Amino acid sequence: MSTAWVVLFLAAALAAACGAEAALVEHTFVVSQIEMHHMCNDSLVTLVNGQFPGPTIEVTEGDSVVVHVINKSPLGVTIHWHGVKQHNNCWADGPAMITQCPIQPNKNFTYRFNVIGQEGTLWWHAHVGFLRATIHGALIIRPRLGPNSYPFPKPDWEVPIVIGEWFDMDLFELYEKTENRIYGDIPLSPTINGLLGDFNNCSGVTEDSYKLDVVQGKTYLLRIVNAAIDKAYNLKIAGHKFTVVAADANYVKPYPRKKKKNYVKPYTTDIIAIASGETFDALVIADAPPGRYYMVAQAVQTTEPITQKRVLMSRGIVSYNPMKWSGDDTLAIMAPELPDWHDERPSFYFHGNLTSLLPQTVPSNIDEHMFMALRSGDNCLYAGSPHCKVTMINNISFQHPSAMPLLQAHYNNNMRNISSLIEFPRAPPMVNFTQTPTLTATMVKNLRYNSTVEIVLQGPPGEMSYSNPMHLHGHDFFILAQGIGYYDAEKDVPKYNLVNPSVKNTAHVPMYGWTVIRFVASNPGVWFFHCHTEHHSSSGMAMAFVVEDGPTVETTLSPPPTDYPSCDGHNSIVEYV
Ligand code: C2O
């Protein structure tokens, strides 16, 4: 072989070993309003490219993504790339008035970001008011070395399962009500991949069900997203089990250790308990007798004495070897056994069982010990309405800034001009924190670059409890422990998993309980941290971290993009023109 051939050969071998070259994945998202008909009602909904759920973005790890958002709707819009770490790219993160002004009607903005060091399923959604109810979609990240490099048996098919919620009311109205601390509205029905399912009917018309055709013996990788506005869901398929392989685009260990270092059977579960904002990748083998099986997503709801609503359920159908049935829909469908719709225990155990696939290096020098009491109250101090509700962290209810996004103010060294700004309180005023907010303010916590933060997230432990999925932008964190009741350092620190904790962007804080997370603030910028229950987030259960620049160019916040949207006097979060 001549030298040239050797070089060529080596280059080809190297390319094969390294997988595909990083690519540019480009999408255009046209946001507009479209009339949709469900349950005897026409509603005007705001969608991306007329789709519900919106388009799936598929990338290979290392790719660059460019999304041109063209706003043809009468509302201000932003898009957040939920779970994408956005290293040194905070301008593209998307939460309204945190990193950017909403894109005004008839205006455009192009989001540009790289997907690096993450594999699995994430998603994207509008991050303004309640628009994400209908503006969302999956973001799938495949390994650079191809499907043979999955740390689990290669699936035969991959299927996104996006759980959403259908409201039969105007989402702007819903948002305004929440802003005014009036809530209690629940969706009409959950959806699986946009369909309400045959559990729902109106005047004898049954809603369409999501249908998954399977071939016996084949393995399916379900990429499950909870894109719902509020609720946590239990997902089950009659007669089938799941092997969970990833959570929030981080691989988890499906093989529990039995005795010493013996990985026996994969850990299977018959339930996926998924809170709003979470994503799970799970393998399902079509190993049941041929037939038709319900796939059910049922909302987990709060217990008495909180007002009881009704069962919220969407049913899809898993159908075997559809050719053989030749459309025979009369065959009985097997239904899964469901936990009580108030029972949060399956979710507690499901989340407690998650560990990361590989051992993790958990930093042990904590620079910032934080405690966050997550509460809601029915105090009407700020709304003057007898029905108002407010949510808070450490007795302070978050208020979005109105004049300028926090990130812009931070970049321009202008934070002190945000009159509502306060430093996040170190701890709640008392252990048995009250139900009354002491303040409505834009609370931020300043963090030195690369500082290690540990947060105890304490949910309401008493009666009237509910779970809170707390989501951090721009970083993943380790989930060290969870428990029921009040967190007690003396008892609970020894229970921390410092070996292989799961790595996530959304922490499920259980009903009546607490969760501890730890992360390194390695990404300069302003990063929103909030409950992913939109009613909570919009009524105050939120705060923002301001991560300072590091010592190098790569660790310094870059300048804003040239087409960075301006508020143009439209300083409310969502508004009609
Ligand atoms: Cu999925 Cu700040 O959100």
Is 471 in contact with 505 (CB distance < 8 Å)? yes
Q: Give the length of the chain.
A: 577
- pTM comes to 0.92
Is 314 in contact with 197 (CB distance < 8 Å)? yes
- Is residue 307's pLDDT more than 80? no
Residues having CB within 6 Å of any atom of ligand 1: 80, 82, 95, 125, 127, 277, 471, 473, 528, 530, 532
Identify the top-confidence range among 8-22, 96-110, 383-397: 96-110
Cα separation, 88 vs 61, whole angstroms: 17
Cα separation, 335 vs 564, whole angstroms: 50
pLDDT digits (tens, 9 = 90+) for 169-197: 677 677 666 665 555 567 889 999 999 99
Q: What is the pLDDT of residue 179?
A: 62
Q: What is the pLDDT of residue 433?
A: 56
Report which of 514, 566, 228, 184 is spatially closest to residue 375, judged by C-alpha positions: 514
333: confidence class by pLDDT, cuts 50, 70, 90:
confident
Q: Per the structure block, which two tokens stand in for 330?
A: 């009369």
Report which of 45, 115, 68 is spatially closest to residue 87, judged by C-alpha positions: 115
Å from CA of 277 to ligand 1 middle? 7
Atom of ligand 1 at shortest distance to CA of 94?
2
**Residue that is written with structure tokens 């255009």 in the block:** 28
Q: What is the pLDDT of residue 304?
A: 61
Q: What is the residue with the minimal CA distance to atom 1 of ligand 1?
A: 82
Atom of ligand 1 at shortest distance to CA of 123?
1
Q: What is the pLDDT of residue 378?
A: 62
Atom of ligand 1 at shortest distance to CA of 125?
1
Q: Which residue has the higher pLDDT, 457 or 389?
A: 457
- Is residue 129's pLDDT more than 90? no
Least confident of 255-259, 359-363, 433-437: 255-259
Å from CA of 330 to ligand 1 middle? 42
Q: How large is the average pLDDT for residues 422-447?
A: 79
Query: In Å, what is the CA distance from 61 to each residue of 99, 115, 144, 251, 346?
Result: 25, 6, 5, 14, 32
570: confidence class by pLDDT, cuts 50, 70, 90:
confident
H or E element: which one contains 387? Answer: none
Q: What is the pLDDT of residue 321?
A: 75
> Residue 234: is it exposed, middle or buried by C-beta count within 10 angstroms (0-12/13-18/19+)?
buried
Q: How large is the average pLDDT for residues 476-502?
A: 96
Structural domains present in the chain: 1-149 (2.60.40.420), 152-354 (2.60.40.420), 368-576 (2.60.40.420)
Is 248 in contact with 83 (CB distance < 8 Å)? yes
pLDDT digits (tens, 9 = 90+) for 208-221: 999 999 999 999 99
Helix, strand, coil percent content, the chain, rounded in steps of 5: 10, 40, 50
Å from CA of 94 to ligand 1 middle? 9
Å from CA of 127 to ligand 1 middle? 7
Å from CA of 471 to ligand 1 middle? 6
255: confidence class by pLDDT, cuts 50, 70, 90:
low
- Is residue 313's pLDDT more than 70? yes
Helix runs in 91-164, H state only:
none
pLDDT digits (tens, 9 = 90+) for 190-200: 999 999 999 99
- Is residue 434's pLDDT more than 70? no
Q: What is the pLDDT of residue 191?
A: 97
Q: Give percent of the chain with pLDDT exceeding 70.
A: 84
Å from CA of 24 to ligand 1 middle? 24
Atom of ligand 1 at shortest distance to CA of 132?
1
Amino acid at 486: Y
Average pLDDT, the chain: 88
Q: How large is the average pLDDT for residues 98-121?
A: 97
Least confident of 201-205, 236-240, 292-296, 434-438: 434-438
Cα separation, 563 vs 571, whole angstroms: 18
Is 248 in contact with 185 (CB distance < 8 Å)? no
Å from CA of 67 to ligand 1 middle? 18
Q: How large is the average pLDDT for residues 464-471?
A: 90
Q: What is the residue with the minimal CA distance to atom 3 of ligand 1?
A: 82
Would you state the torsion angle of the CA atoms of residues 521, 527, 532, 537, taken in this order, to the nearest 10 degrees? 130
571: confidence class by pLDDT, cuts 50, 70, 90:
low
Atom of ligand 1 at shortest distance to CA of 95?
2
Q: What is the pLDDT of residue 12?
A: 45
Q: Per the structure block, which two tokens stand in for 109?
A: 């903005």
Query: In Å, what is the CA distance from 84 to each residue of 113, 143, 232, 499?
Result: 9, 15, 22, 24
Is 216 in contact with 290 (CB distance < 8 Å)? yes
Q: How large is the average pLDDT for residues 218-236?
A: 96
Cα separation, 483 vs 515, whole angstroms: 7
Q: How large is the average pLDDT for residues 469-491?
A: 97
